[in-house]
Structure 1
């Protein structure tokens, strides 16, 4: 029988090494679970040091679009559903020498640019400018028709309530015949994150499972299974809420879609965005 040989000092490091290895494995598992649960990591803010408000204002032109990451409760879910850190947008204009932003929050309002910048995450901002010539006064006047109106927490496409990118889109469409951004169906967003699922369930009370075979207690956790079933021969739309089906097909315009409009050019941006 071969005799077991223990190298001098080896036992001394075995337990710490095993502990470190276990911690690394645990950390890897947590990161993996976090990615699956909360979605892809957000794109990092760049440009250090960044421009101050005065320097940014020197770059502005009336009609510019300003994008940022808000710190509201819905900002994280929006970022994960759209795979982008940009969760809010407004239109810049000038009045009596002051730079202002027309934005859809609760309610739709006009905000000093400095204040708009300060409430964003780390004060970071992106400025995009329409390439076409247009009358900015007509755009702002078109947008002002919703001034003091309610924010649309359900992200619908009606004219009774507004969310941020919808207000920008409709103001430019009505005031300058420009369509900034591409509409997409709600069902094309990424619902895999728990944060997104909780937001949608809370606000919309969507029901994705009422049949015995696909009973998931109105939980978007199984949204992908729902889509797979919908595309199969077993699909029975009559088993689902008509409101749910209609909402999935309804149009939505995300801030990142607006940011990527080919009708815009970047003036300044503190985000790394592909």
Structure 2
């Protein structure tokens, strides 16, 4: 009887261990929260209005990198609420994301942060309040997968550009046309075909993450690339 009981306990222990090792990936993500909390505690203290860039893991990431010849495919604006940093970003839909969660979503958790060279002089509290208000008006809008220059839908770099232009009177990054990008790679051609069919709006006004990142108005304040 004693041997039988020991055997039963051993069998149950083995089955529980085996089940734990075969949990689906999404069910094993909880421990990452505490790990990211530790990462968050080590992050530099950023400023309201700082711009953060990453290489996202979205399906269109590679096409954007190739078309703009840049490692950056996604970006957002850092704002603080009750002393905690968040990223206002245009995904589906436009939303506000905790900074550590935003960083965790990027490829290998790499990121770079840019700031206006004269931010202390230009971004007064009243200006930042106006920028935040403009940004909040975009929350809930759908992501613009066809990169149109309207407010009906919006994409990530367009969100940054319009908030700075309308809230601070500053144009961060050079506006371009879709035809100005490198559209020759198979990945880019495939995405263009998916989004536009046979009629690609080559004359559409576009602002890319790379154009904002490379703006001479900005300096790099943090990077783990």
TM-score normalised to structure 1 length:
0.64
Distance 1:206-1:270 versus aligned 2 partners, 3 A rule: farther
Structure 1, unaligned stretches of length 5 or more?
A: 1-50, 208-243
**Rg: which structure is higher?**
1
Structure 2, unaligned stretches of length 5 or more?
A: 1-37
Which stretches of structure 1, 4 residues or longer, exceed 4 Å deviation after superposition?
A: none
Report how far residue 270 of structure 1 moved: 2.7
Indicate conservation of the 8 Å contact 1:90/1:164, yes or no: yes
Residue from 260, 264, 274 that aligns with 2:214:
260
Residue aligning to 1:88: 74
Residue aligning to 1:12: none
Q: Answer yes or no: is 1:53 the counterpart of 2:53.
A: no
What is the alpha-carbon distance in structure 2 between the residues aligned to residue 53 and residue 80 of structure 1? 31
What is the alpha-carbon distance in structure 1 between the residues aligned to residue 111 and residue 129 of structure 2? 23
Residue aligning to 1:248: 202
Secondary structure of the corresponding residue to residue 76 of structure 1? helix
Indicate conservation of the 8 Å contact 2:39/2:100, yes or no: no
Report how far residue 107 of structure 1 moved: 0.1
What is the alpha-carbon distance in structure 2 between the residues aligned to residue 269 and residue 206 of structure 1? 39
What is the alpha-carbon distance in structure 2 between the residues aligned to residue 270 and residue 184 of structure 1? 28
Residue aligning to 1:174: 166
What is the alpha-carbon distance in structure 2 between the residues aligned to residue 124 and residue 81 of structure 1? 20
Q: Answer yes or no: is 1:101 the counterpart of 2:87.
A: yes
Residue aligning to 1:45: none
Q: Which of the pair is proportionally richer in helix?
A: 2
Report how far residue 95 of structure 1 moved: 0.5
Report how far residue 69 of structure 1 moved: 0.5
Q: Deviations over 1:199-252 (max 9, x none)?
A: 000111134xxxxxxxxxxxxxxxxxxxxxxxxxxxxxxxxxxxx4xx111111
Indicate conservation of the 8 Å contact 2:80/2:86, yes or no: yes
Q: Deviations over 1:55-106 (max 9, x none)?
A: 22x3311110000000000001000111111001100011012110100000
Report how far residue 110 of structure 1 moved: 0.4
For residues 1-274 of structure 1, the aligned pairs below 5 Å read 52-56=39-43, 58-132=44-118, 133-134=122-123, 135-207=127-199, 244=200, 247-271=201-225
Matched residues, number: 182
Residue aligning to 1:22: none
What is the alpha-carbon distance in structure 2 between the residues aligned to residue 198 and residue 188 of structure 1? 18
Secondary structure of the corresponding residue to residue 72 of structure 2? coil
Cα RMSD after superposing both structures: 1.3
Indicate conservation of the 8 Å contact 1:185/1:250, yes or no: yes
